[in-house]
Structure 1
């Protein structure tokens, strides 16, 4: 990541923090000048970290979280080890402040770091090094912290805090995105925007840890990363309904399956797959005529769905009679 163009761009900065930069910067510690939020939902116990920056794939460096443990944002001259080490300290029983203090105590680059932590009890701690690039600062509030560096103005992080507080009652993912939107409305990163990320984890670790990341979305390179991140969150919610529909089919609960597929389809009516499985569920429920109406334009737009339909009876995903199947496959 350490390119010549960045050396030119940040030459003045590097000189001003030479004593630190020469010691602490490496290819594994990118320049994540950015704004972010870590937060916990007091009702659900969910925890989140969300970030936007003018840096490629910012979510791979800044955002860290683990169900039942906490969330960490590490930025400015990013020390990525703070993510995993911070979570490990929380897991060992440290509070957010204790974990942060321990991370910084042995870090020679603490003056160019910006870090925020929220633990599973809602304790928060944040640090903005005295050599972070202006405008830089943070605000800690009730179970959240907002932080920013290299901003257009010092209005960015107060706007984030206000937006988060005023969005109380909404799902946590939507609340932290509201904070990012508020930051951008105040000008955000002085360099512009490029990438964003959203990570939400559960209140407690489950027996299926692969399911503990409730939302895990990244926009690695986009002229409107927050707009795209919101679109992806909406799509994520729609596919949650699709998954719920699939589960209902497994349980032979067709009314629930139809309801879930309809909800997903309404969110993204142009998504062929959502429309397709809704139609297949209707067919399995005996509403073949209605299913045919839905499948006809799908087959016309993409014939591969017709081919797939012919394969479904073999595995029990389409249970219509042979004549009904022929009617469906013969749609023009």
Structure 2
């Protein structure tokens, strides 16, 4: 998990950023009412996503574009890539007109802290946020759900989510499709394993509720949000705190290959985890992928997302169709396991 929401805690409180006439301006420091806590954030996932979208052929993104100047259309991708860290959409206000307005953050923070210290809050019947960061849904961040979990099981769950998101991107699973009605499985895992009558959301809820909590935003694009969530799980898989991959230095920078270990967040060094999840976004330029080379995993993460972006733009379906290879093969390759793969651990 990126921990973009918990990179650095400092004692102060701020008002959210004002909306300017020339477009949305975001303040990464999210204030909490009545809580003397302030989060200082780096938009790492958003920056990786911008670079991948531009390299993948989204031509209306200027070479010097950054998070602060993103359009509402780009924010639909951002809301998706943020979802894995904010699956209950608690960090944003729900508005018919805007998709980038930050909330006070109080609900998100209280749920995160509860899940961190209370086992019930991160159990299957607990908060979705707690489950995804500390419980059975850690695979949403390309991490094992427990120390000792076989890597093949973690990979199966990751690919199950990849299939759900990709087939939502292509329109095969429309937003009104019920979670319990999505008949996909991988290695014995299906969606009903994670969403049942005791969970939030329940299986009768639809994909729009799952990804947006039934947002009122008039220009919501479910395919962009799904692609964002898919990008997140890919990007996390190249972060040192999430996985250990085969390293190749022959290109002059570290290129990451097959997965050797999926890490588990429970019991990890949180500060060290956050360190490897971040970089200074002002030091990179989305149109110059070489600028990402100094940051281990960043270039590889972008290139993997570009592969998926190109599949989407070329109309490739998940499964093989009419003799045309499906997207499943690319995702299986992105999450390929190394011959010496080991069970999940909480090292970095």
Is this a same-fold pair by TM over 0.5?
Answer: no
- Give TM-score, length-normalised by structure 2: 0.26
Relative contact order (alpha carbons < 8 A, sep ≥ 6): 1 or 2 greater? 2
Rg larger in structure? 1
**Comparing both structures, which one devotes a greater share of its residues to helix?**
1
More strand as a share of residues: 1
With the length of structure 1 as denominator, give the TM-score of the two structures.
0.27
